[in-house]
Structure 1
Amino acid sequence: MKAIPYGRQSIEKEDLEAVISTLKADFLTQGPKVKEFEEKFADYVNSKFAVAVSNATAGLHISVLALGLQPGDRVITTPITFAASANCVRYGGGEVWFADIDPTTYLLSLESTRRLIESKPKGFFKGIIPVDFAGLPVNLEGFRELANEHNLWLIEDACHAPGGYFVDSQNKKQKCGNGNFADIGIFSFHPVKHIACGEGGMVTTNNEKLYKKLLSLRTHGITKENMSENHGGWFYEMQELGFNYRLTDIQSALGITQLAKNSAGVERRNEIARKYKEAFKGKIKYQSLPSNCYNAHHLFIVEVENRLKLYNYLREHKIYAQIHYIPVHTLPYYKKIGYQGADLNNSEKYYEHCISLPMYPTLTDEEQDFVIKSINNFTV
């Protein structure tokens, strides 16, 4: 059996042809493919606007700035996420506060978040960044109600979840990142994610004012909007301090072909998840699926005893499982600024046992059978 990673990209003929075609075109950076990708992505998630960026971390950064984050502002997120979900607040000089996860879904707990908010004076917090962890959609309807009660903004970190959705209280399907509940949604195009651009990200919103602010911050704070008859085509103004967070036409061309395959890819991911669940039901704990959700399954995570031994055992058999994630509040940087005393028991218990199994659309039945057999042999 060849090596089996926990995740991997799938680059096919149409992807290669799209990139080659763009390499032969007039634009390699900010050309027509970027706009085409943005429009197709917005249509895919049912949002009004989309802004392509160099990576999801850049997207998170400009999102908190667009929402008005100021030094000292306090923002709540989950400790079970990649560090970027918290780091973006630190980039803007804000303080990160962590609420605990639900021990069955592994998502930021609405109840824990509410308790944290209500333990402080009104206005103490400015925003919340819940994460669609492993591809499972957060209950954004509930978080929106909570945010509205306390005048907070809401960013949905949907990096794991393009194609995922939940059904709201009005029985309407709400796609991850559609902007109906969160002010802004964030997606990642890292190679192990659903849509691979090498690197890249997308920011979605239904708010035109936020959209224009995001466009400005993505490109150095520069605009040509105020050009008059007294100016030539060279004219531009830098209105604010922005960044070079642009995606290229090359990456966008790849993103367009990858996006076209995502619905089929998510369907295959769910087939793989069902097979894992059938194999482990009653024996090994895995992420629960609320009845009103469709999991995009970036990851398939189980909780086991002797996690380190299983991790090493699988590697010996060329199965390269991974751990997602070390709780952010336990990382040295966050410990230094005072997070080691946080009461996040569910997150810490989860981390002691979690392991991510191979999950990607091109995982074959034979490979998955081998993974399942290896785990069962270890646990017997």
Structure 2
Amino acid sequence: MNLKTFVKRFTVGLGLSAALLAGASAETLKIGVIASLTGPGAPWGLATQYGAKILASEVNAKGGLDVGGKKYQVEVIAYDDQYKAADAVAAYNRLVRQDGVKYVILMSSPSTLALKQSIEDDKVVAFTSAITPKAIDANTKYMFRLYSTPIDYVPSFVTWLKNNVKGKRVVILNPNDETGWDLTQLSETLYKENGFTVAGTDLYERTQKDFQPLITKVLSMKPDLIELSAASPPTAGLIVRQAREMGYKGVFAKNSGPSPNEIVAASGKEAAEGMINLLYVDPTNSGFKRLAADYKKFVGQEPHEQVVTYYDAANVLLRAIQIAGDVKDTSKVAASFAKALPMKSVLGEDLTLSGKKNGDLNQQILTVDYVGVIKNGRPVVVGKVK
């Protein structure tokens, strides 16, 4: 070995040793994620997981999170609940009892409701994207909503449809679970208030793949618009494709759980043309583009736009921990949530404290959302809703 090679290897080894020593000197702050990492809900679940992981990597690259003068490396531990409450309970027990996690991010309403009491009993601080009003009540101290929910944005979304869609006869389709029930009830009320005729509503199982019998029933109702609010991305795309193949010429809308890119992938570009989606981001936003590029490095594919909301929520959580000045005392962290806001989203919009419409004041992050229309396979922002 020549001198040049020896010096190079010695220098690299010295740098690695220093990095290892720095990591060893920092304590670890663990954040658990319980989400649907496989199956139809995977686009949402991976956004949950990697929104938090991307933020953790950024914090760790700067030496860790400073809490009370002590540095913490942020570790994200994710488990798959496959959109099933029973699997969520198993994942939660593993995170809390075995992994020692005190902070959890939850994706779905079924999982949130299954864990609601355990979170309060264990004093685990949890952020949820559950839309059900049942997730938070007067006795809830440790659960927080991480973004605006349908009661915040669906009214404006349906009003936009009223002013921009010609036909006023709608059929509402949703999955047969807590999320679907809530959104069916809310959507039906709002469509009627805005002058639409709700020709029918129907439910399907999230595992369902053949929608021809259901679509046959829907087409017999002669809708101008089919609302797919809580459908998972691949399922929504499948319904769109099968309905187009069966002759449906009307409009599709999705007033919740936005996922236009995944819908196009499942339906085909031509079938999805003109579909109207609620959007959590403006795809042209520079902050989203940066986050999307980081996501692609981690996962190797384009992200679901909801990655923004989970990145922002994790950021709010870390700020609340810093304000509390104590990683271990979750009561202090929960009490510091209100002090963490307002703050800026990665998109540059203001994240504020809200929850009045859900009855959970001071336990919800209020975000800004958009109306998008799929044009040539891509969502184009045509309006903003708050």
RCO comparison, higher one (Cα < 8 Å, 6+): 1
The answer to which structure has the higher strand fraction is 2
Tell me which structure has the larger Cα radius of gyration.
2
TM-score by length of 2: 0.31
